[in-house]
Structure 1
Amino acid sequence: MNHPTRTRDFSIRWGTEDLDFHLPPRVHVDEVRPAVAASIKAIDDEKERELVVTRITKELAAGTGSTRGLSGHSLPSRGITLDKAKSIIVVSDDNTRVTPVKTLLPPIITMAKQSAKPISIIVAGGSHRHMTRDEKRAKFGAAIVDEIPVLDHEWADESTMVNFGKARCGSNGDGSHDYDIKLSRVACEPGTFVIGLGNIVPHRVCGFSGGYKILLPGLTCQATMNEIHYASARFTSERILGVVRNPVRDAINEIGIYRPIDFLVNTVLDGASRIVSLCLGDPVAAQFEGAGVARAIYGVQVGTPADIVIADAVPEHVDWWLCAKAACNCKTFVKPGGHLVLLAPCTEGWSPAHEGILLEHGYHAPAVIDAMVAGGQIPRDHLLEASHLAHVGEVLTHCHVHIISDTLDKKIIGKQGFDIVRSRDFQALVDDLVRDTHHDHDSHDDHASNSLAPPRVTIVRRGSEILPLPSLS
């Protein structure tokens, strides 16, 4: 008599919906995710708005602008305080980020009205496409967008920039280059009080987001953006991702020499997107403190790398340019030669702004990309894309990558080394990988005890934010 095989049922986020799947009982399963309020004390929902309003209002009233950097040397401030400012510009991230700006903005706007100073918002989206008006209303609140100017950053138009001269990203001997420091003129007008909004999470380019990253690369031109991103490609992910102090973060913080953020408003959220920490004031010190909190929330000990990792790309899902964060973050959870199954809908395609360059040059190991840049095959005008190619190429040389998407072209993207799988075939892919991994154990292990070892599967939640930490052993 045949008995039905018992399975364990799971679901995982795929864009705006959940996909169900199951695994056989013999599979060893680990689940990792950022900490939530049960393990880290979060601000109670009903008190969150009141506490945020009180703290921002109090700190803004007492704020004195940028004064001292973490390294101990002074970051020159123009000496502007809110009471002496002619106007206020709020520099905010776009709808690809989960910063709770609807909660953060009201006390800032109230103070601007009370002080009779004009206020506007500029979206520091870097090379991202502009948000639509409906997207702005959803991000900032309909009433705010209807009342206050919300400006777009024209990253490709250098006539809208102020050039502060040359800087060098990285230390001597690492192939670094001098590059122009250019920032949006909107944030550099004399008498403007600059407030930087953002959220702090692990980030492959600079260790953690937040702080001066809202200006660099958020409000820079293509050339500046190219250099700061490509600097990160000279280091493995383990040297940058989740490292609070690193060469790229130091270079980003140097922007404060040229255009200080007068007041920083950064949040740290838990795994349920609730505010855990509110980091205010000095843009270097506050971000540094917040990065430590974020490390505690998003950091997960890797343990034994898995044969198969099934990960969502939350909170990203729009295109591969963004969802690739999850691939970079989850690489360490996968054993060499293993499989990463990434649920990345990519509803807007591979990358609306960069797809042609990415597909032309292709994904390769970082050393190969670096040689292509040095040899001129990839022009320096496309270092931003080269950094992405190197970051993801590092993942592809480590493991097989399967992307669950109903929109990506299987043939075109398949040529880049990815396996594109439709959502309807997600379970079949999982079944095949579990079966084949089990066969690999059977066929390659000489010892009977090892031949019975079941596949190891790790399920990663919020893959675009998770931070793999080295084992303590």
Structure 2
Amino acid sequence: MVKRPVKDREVTLRCGEKRYSVKIPEHIRFEYARLNPAEQAADPQVLIQEALNHPVGAPRIENMVQPGQKICIISDDNTRLTPVVLILKELLPRLERAGIRREDIFIVMALGSHRPMTVEEMSAKLGREVCENYRVLNSEFENPALLTQVGVSALGTPIRVLKAAMEADLRIGIGSVVPHGCMGWSGGAKILYPGITSADIVSEFHVMQRLRDEILLGMVECPVRLAVEEWTQNIGLHYIINTVLGEDAAVYSAAAGHYIQAHRKAVSSAQKIYGVPVRQRPDVVLSSAYPIHMDFWQCGKAAYGPTKVLRKGGEFLLLAECKEGVGPHPQMLDYMAIEDGKDALLKRIQSGETGEDLLAMAVGVSMGRVVRHAHVTLVSDGLTAEQCERGRMAHHPQAALQQALEQALAKFEDPFLLVIPEGGEAIPILGEQV
């Protein structure tokens, strides 16, 4: 367990651009579970260069392309912290030196089912110069005319992928590896499937996890990932560049090459940072959703890790900005309140119904497990008390964080408190499991 010194029992948590401090009462036993410290690269650009110079399971990218080919670069969107500017600074010149013309290179923002990125957001993510000199577009998960079918999934759903990407001769994925509730770890094949697929496939992707009883967060050979990787082999993701980030998004390592082999190398690095040992099962968890705090659709992911260690019937306080409110699928709040969510989800699938509402249902049912495991309080200015009540959660504004914590602690005679400053990425692990 790694602890940061806590002055006078006061801890500070990030929430968007703000920071909130709370004072822990003298009689309360607590643990401060930060990400494991990692040595930041002196020059992150050198790490990326080395990854591209020594790819895993594939030739160097400049030896894979030929003049006249069309290259599609698929990047994660602004809900992720991947240093895409640094990666493109190294990748694009290599492609051009290999004879690829600028007009034959385009970049797709892999939205999954997130809202489209604005021009300003693309510029911040990719760099202004890149946006001015290369074609950049959002993926289109809801527009059938811009998708093409490449097969049928195991559940019988047509697999539709962005047509422009499939028309390219070579597809390169860029992302980061962090713990993920559906695939164990993000990165690798996920950038393509479901990153640039239709809404139906995005829904099925989430359904696959919600129908399983075990928590997949942090699992390397995750069954959902293995299924996705099998289909990615059929679709074609020719190369990836994945980074692993430490605290404050500092680059810790990078891996490039084959979409499975390079991904597993990145995961081995990520495990050293994100697996956070905890000495005993807590009664109360106070966690910041940082860095996935844009909306509740994203920050809800920060609940899965703490649920693995929080005692049944415990108190879970989630601090999250949610500046864009619930997010793109507000119906998820109603599905969180369904008692027999898994059975309802199965019936929905068996009926053949798909679409965006199924995605909201799948994620809502998964979050429903959290609110039935513990009493959840969302500390946020982005949602109202009425919205939280729909999802069976209590609510406090961000300024009332201290009050919310004291109320939660008061429910136990001798509570043990776990504080997680980067709940959006940490995987708490009980001491006996380490």
- Decide which of 51, 56, 63 is 2:59's aligned counterpart: 63
Question: Would you say the 8 A contact 1:197–1:214 is kept in 2?
Answer: yes
Deviations 1:164-214 (A, max 9, x none): 12121xxxxxxxx22222211111115x22110010011001100010100
1:360 Cα offset (Å):
4.3
Residue 138 of structure 1: aligned partner: 124
- Aligned CA distance change for structure 1 residues 465 and 42 (closer, same or farther; 3 Å): same
2 CA distance for matches of 1:393 and 1:303? 27
Residue 290 of structure 1: aligned partner: 266
Mind listing any 5+ residue stretches in structure 1 that lack a counterpart?
1-5, 66-79, 169-176, 442-453
Work out whether 1:109 is the aligned partner of 2:105.
Answer: no
SS at match of 1:19: strand
Work out whether 1:304 is the aligned partner of 2:280.
Answer: yes
Work out whether 1:315 is the aligned partner of 2:291.
Answer: yes
2 CA distance for matches of 1:228 and 1:88? 26
- Decide which of 212, 215, 225 is 2:192's aligned counterpart: 215
Residue 181 of structure 2: aligned partner: 204
1 CA distance for matches of 2:276 and 2:382? 31
Residue 235 of structure 2: aligned partner: 259
Give the 5 Å matches for 1:88-167.
Answer: 88-114=71-97, 115-117=99-101, 118-167=104-153
Instruction: Give aligned-pair identity as a percent.
Output: 27
Give the 5 Å matches for 1:333-412.
Answer: 333-351=309-327, 353-355=328-330, 357-364=331-338, 368-376=340-348, 379-381=353-355, 382-412=357-387
1:420 Cα offset (Å):
1.1
Deviations 1:41-100 (A, max 9, x none): 4422xx22134235425659x7278xxxxxxxxxxxxxx931266121110000100111
2 CA distance for matches of 1:184 and 1:274? 32
Q: Which has the larger radius of gyration?
A: 1
1:103 Cα offset (Å):
0.8
Deviations 1:312-359 (A, max 9, x none): 0111111100000111122123211111111111111112x211x324
TM-score w.r.t. structure 1 length? 0.84
Higher mean C-alpha deviation, range 296-305 or range 28-37: 296-305
Residue 397 of structure 2: aligned partner: 422
- Decide which of 357, 371, 388 is 1:413's aligned counterpart: 388
- Aligned CA distance change for structure 1 residues 363 and 84 (closer, same or farther; 3 Å): farther
2 CA distance for matches of 1:293 and 1:414? 40
Residue 3 of structure 2: aligned partner: none
- Aligned residues between the structures: 419
1 CA distance for matches of 2:402 and 2:241? 43
TM-score w.r.t. structure 2 length? 0.91
Residue 423 of structure 2: aligned partner: 463
SS at match of 2:96: helix
1:249 Cα offset (Å):
0.5
1 CA distance for matches of 2:403 and 2:386? 19
2 CA distance for matches of 1:343 and 1:151? 33
Residue 271 of structure 1: aligned partner: 247
1:265 Cα offset (Å):
0.4
SS at match of 2:432: coil
Residue 43 of structure 1: aligned partner: 41
- Aligned CA distance change for structure 1 residues 413 and 374 (closer, same or farther; 3 Å): same
Residue 15 of structure 1: aligned partner: 16
1:11 Cα offset (Å):
1.1
Work out whether 1:53 is the aligned partner of 2:53.
Answer: no
1:470 Cα offset (Å):
4.5
- Aligned CA distance change for structure 1 residues 50 and 471 (closer, same or farther; 3 Å): closer
Deviations 1:381-427 (A, max 9, x none): 33322221122111111101111111312123213211110122211
Residue 171 of structure 2: aligned partner: 194
Question: Would you say the 8 A contact 1:312–1:460 is kept in 2?
Answer: yes
Question: Would you say the 8 A contact 1:15–1:345 is kept in 2?
Answer: yes
Question: Would you say the 8 A contact 2:179–2:426 is kept in 1?
Answer: yes
SS at match of 2:302: helix
SS at match of 2:137: strand
- Aligned CA distance change for structure 1 residues 24 and 360 (closer, same or farther; 3 Å): closer
2 CA distance for matches of 1:51 and 1:396? 41
1 CA distance for matches of 2:302 and 2:10? 23
Question: Would you say the 8 A contact 1:302–1:332 is kept in 2?
Answer: no
SS at match of 1:294: helix
Letter in 1 for 2:270: A
Deviations 1:407-452 (A, max 9, x none): 3121232132111101222111222222232xxx3xxxxxxxxxxx
1 CA distance for matches of 2:9 and 2:370? 29
2 CA distance for matches of 1:411 and 1:245? 40
Deviations 1:86-140 (A, max 9, x none): 1211100001001111110112111233224221110001111111111111111
Higher mean C-alpha deviation, range 243-252 or range 329-338: 329-338
Work out whether 1:178 is the aligned partner of 2:164.
Answer: no
Residue 4 of structure 2: aligned partner: none
